[in-house]
A and B are shown apart, each in its own frame.
Chain A
Amino acid sequence: MRLERTPEQLDPIAVFALRPIVSLVCAFAVCYAIISTIAHEDQIVNPLAAIAAILVLVAAAVIFIVAAQPGVSPMRGGTHVLVIGLTIVACILFAASVWGADHLIQDNWGQIAIGLLLAAMSSFRPPGEIIISSVISAAIVGGIAAAETPFLVIAGTPVLYATVAATPILAFSLAATGSTKVTTAAVLSWRATARRAIERLEPEIREGAARVVHQEQVALLNQEAVPFFTDLLQRDEVTEADIARAREIAISLRRSAVATVERSWLDEAIARTIVQSGASPQCLSSPLRDPDRLAEFMTTEQRGTLSAILLVISRGVGFDTRTLSVTIERTTSRCHLTLVAHVEASGRAIKAELLPYLSVLRVVAQDARLRVHQGDVALQFFYDQT
């Protein structure tokens, strides 16, 4: 999946936190449109067009709010075109409703509604796209205002009224893109710093891990192989019993080596989850079903986000480790991961806690979906096997 340089895709958790603001902006735009329409009562010549304008704006607002939800994010260019296109249509319908009787351009709601929605859209779409959209919107709304010049109460030129209508749209959208440019630049700079920090941390981690792995190997060999070899060297002779014993130890060591090779990072992450929930991983068979070892194809971000989700679930009150199951299967061209668990908590609380992570997963993986029903959590997503 190709990532775009939008605030939503670069910093999904931050934009998730801004989600209520989208609803607020949409509600404000609709309320302002209704109040402005009522204030234009004496100028409205086509009430049906005025009502249709409000309804079309409501449709644009609803589409925008739904598209900003973490369950359907990230927002695509098509949604942007649809939302702003509908708002422009609403603006044209309002202009039609007061055509020939409008007093002033500056108290019409069209340009404010477009400007507000474009500003909110800047968290979801790239700055270049927002600027193109704002220029087109400003040209259309400015053109309509220019055409209204003969009917307006204040004498002015078409250019003057085009400026009056276009200024709020350009001001809102340029302000919003000015803000998102700063934040996206900061995120990209931080990513470079974080990448360098992780690279610099690797020798330290490797040193500690090497010590642990070596100790694990020594502990494994100290159980049977080292005493056997020591005894063999002392006796300097191979007996029938030694041959049989060597075969037994070899089988045991081989089994252990194969288990190490077959154990994936996800097995380790799940074991950590189980430990954090207070249960003993040894008491359980592995909840991971990954016969084709597809977990290895996940990216760093996918791994980090899935691990974080496992951590959140393990922290949940009443999480029963026996209900945890993670399955990875190969579909025609992608890998499909399904996670199922049960937590003794209200579905609303679990969902509220997991939604920020879902917003990240929607960006870093494909078709991520979360379903929570009476404590039953079901998460699934797809990723490429490349």
Chain B
Amino acid sequence: MASDGSNTSDGNTSDGSNKGAGMSLGLPSHLARATNSRGLANAAHWAGLVCLAATLVNLGVLRAGHPFGTFAPAAIALVPMATLLILLNRRCTVPLTIAYLAVGAVCTFFYASTVLLATPTFINTNLFALSLPIVAMTMVGGAGSAALIGVLWATLGFALAELVIFVAAVVTDHGFRMDWGSLGAYLLLVTVLLIDGLTRGGRHLPQVTIHRAIREDQVIHIHHELSLESAADLHDTALSELITVANALPGPLAPALRRRIEADLHSLGQDRLPLSSSNPSGVVAEEIWLSSEMHAAIELARDDGLAIEVSGDRNALGRLSPETRRAIGLAVRQCLVNVLRHSGSPAADVAIAASESEVSVLVADSGRGYVQSDDHEDRLGLRNSVHDRIARVGGRVTIWSAPDVGTSVMLLVPTLDGRDVEVAL
């Protein structure tokens, strides 16, 4: 009966586990911030490119309507601007952003001057033809993940473009009038950037709850799978022997049955994993790991959507004093918080190793990294919070980091034995 049920359920379970294959829903918040910024920058660049393409079409139309006007310099002026915008779309860096704004300002001036000089019927600068490069300059979508930085770049682009249009109007003796289209585009972009800045982080709790639920369900699923195996084992061993006894006749215990019962009892003591009665140290070490601050820190970061691989000897934490274990756990937590906040990396590794006198924990990511001389507030936080905490328990911290390579933090703390050696020396 148990066996039948087990088979049916096994079939169902394997079907269920294959569907979806451990997928997670949506971007975790720490990746969403950078992705949204990249997305908005990409959007701005595409809008800018459409405007420049429309400018070229306009020039073609104007040339056909004004055979004596010469629009070639205007068309040529747009080429470097469009080229830089394409480059900026590929790689959004501060130098390229500045170069686009500088070259764009010069190009817009040449374009506007040429168009105004060639078409005397245009009495002022409130023209669709002139609003297009202004919008393209506004859509600079500059480097930087903060919404305010995006607003500053857009404002700089818009102001520069309006300034050069004003200069072109003065030089060509035309009236200056701001057009509502480009102002509307600027205000719209700023609104979008500010809304993006204000709504970031609004989905944190549901995302974390679903990530946690998916992981806990994985634990439940595996536990259930193993329980079914265990039930099948029970059916084949102890239950089978009990049924044999129940069906036996009174009298001496049959040698074959005796051997089977002895084998069952033996396997109960030694099967698969150490039991509390046979190897208490293994279970205690496992319990120390599961109740440690380091395990809690790793689970918290996993809830936030960071994929963490733990390798090495987790049981080594059992060789640390409770005070040291807490210190290294909290330091690892700070390191993982830093990965979440600054690295832009979806994953991190935690490697634990131990010698007689020391336990080392390496927290590594392959994210953005940073220049170690950078005294940014968060870097100081990493140095002070992690370094001081570890130093207080007699350990030391080494940090390796480089831009676009990633960051590795090595924490070394003395074991209880190591402390004894130190005291003896």
Contacts and interface: CB of A to CB of B under 8 A. Distances in A.
Secondary structure class of chain B's binding surface, majority of residues:
helix
Interface string B3-25: 00110110011011101111111
Given A176-B43, A269-B220, A106 B238 contact: no
A283 interface: no
A186 B250 contact: no
B226 A206 contact: yes
Nearest to B135: A171
A233 B216 contact: no
A40 to B, nearest CB: 14
Nearest to A169: B50
B219 A257 contact: no
B28 A190 contact: yes
A171 to B, nearest CB: 4
A176 B44 CA distance: 9
B273 interface: yes
B250 A183 contact: no
Interface in A156-176: 156-157, 159-160, 163-164, 166-167, 170-172, 174-176
A196 interface: yes
A365 to B, nearest CB: 12
A334 interface: no
Contacts of B199: 17-18, 21
A201 B288 CA distance: 19
A194 B22 contact: yes
A296 B15 contact: yes
B347 A193 contact: yes
Interface in A224-264: 225-226, 228-230, 232-233, 235-240, 242-243, 246-247, 249-250, 253-254, 257-258, 260-264
Most buried by A among B12, B50, B230, B243: B50
Given A232-B253, A268-B224, A258 B26 contact: no
Interface in A6-41: 10-14, 16-18, 21, 24
A311 B262 CA distance: 46
B253 A178 contact: no
B370 interface: no
Nearest to A228: B242
A114 B265 CA distance: 77
B31 interface: yes
Interface stretch (A61-69, A74-82, A210-218, A372-380): A210-218
Contacts of A211: 273, 283, 286
Secondary structure class of chain A's binding surface, majority of residues:
helix
Given A237-B253, A238-B248, A14 B32 contact: yes
Interface string B117-153: 0000100000010011001000100000000000000
Given A11-B26, A298-B16, A157 B61 contact: yes
B2 A254 contact: yes
Contacts of B203: 13-14, 16-17, 356
B358 interface: no
A155 B305 CA distance: 59
Contacts of B99: none
Closest 10 CB pairs of A and B: A197-B307, A300-B20, A304-B214, A296-B12, A194-B24, A178-B46, A179-B43, A198-B22, A246-B245, A307-B213
Given A207-B273, A298-B19, 18 more contacts: A155-B121, A174-B46, A175-B43, A179-B43, A183-B36, A186-B27, A209-B219, A215-B276, A226-B268, A229-B241, A263-B224, A265-B220, A268-B223, A301-B23, A304-B210, A311-B213, A360-B25, A360-B210
Interface of A: 10-14, 16-18, 21, 24, 105-107, 155-157, 159-160, 163-164, 166-167, 170-172, 174-183, 186-187, 189-191, 193-202, 204-218, 220-221, 225-226, 228-230, 232-233, 235-240, 242-243, 246-247, 249-250, 253-254, 257-258, 260-265, 268-269, 272, 293, 296-305, 307-308, 311-312, 356-357, 360, 364, 386
12 contacts: A12-B25, A16-B203, A171-B46, A194-B346, A214-B271, A226-B265, A238-B249, A253-B239, A258-B5, A304-B214, A305-B25, A311-B209
Interface of B: 1-2, 5-6, 8-9, 12-13, 15-17, 19-28, 31-32, 35-36, 38-40, 42-47, 49-51, 54, 57-58, 61-62, 64-65, 121, 128, 131-132, 135, 139, 180-181, 195, 199, 202-203, 206-207, 209-210, 212-224, 226-231, 233-235, 238-239, 241-243, 245-246, 248-253, 258, 261-262, 264-265, 268, 271-273, 275-276, 283, 286, 290, 305, 307-310, 346-347
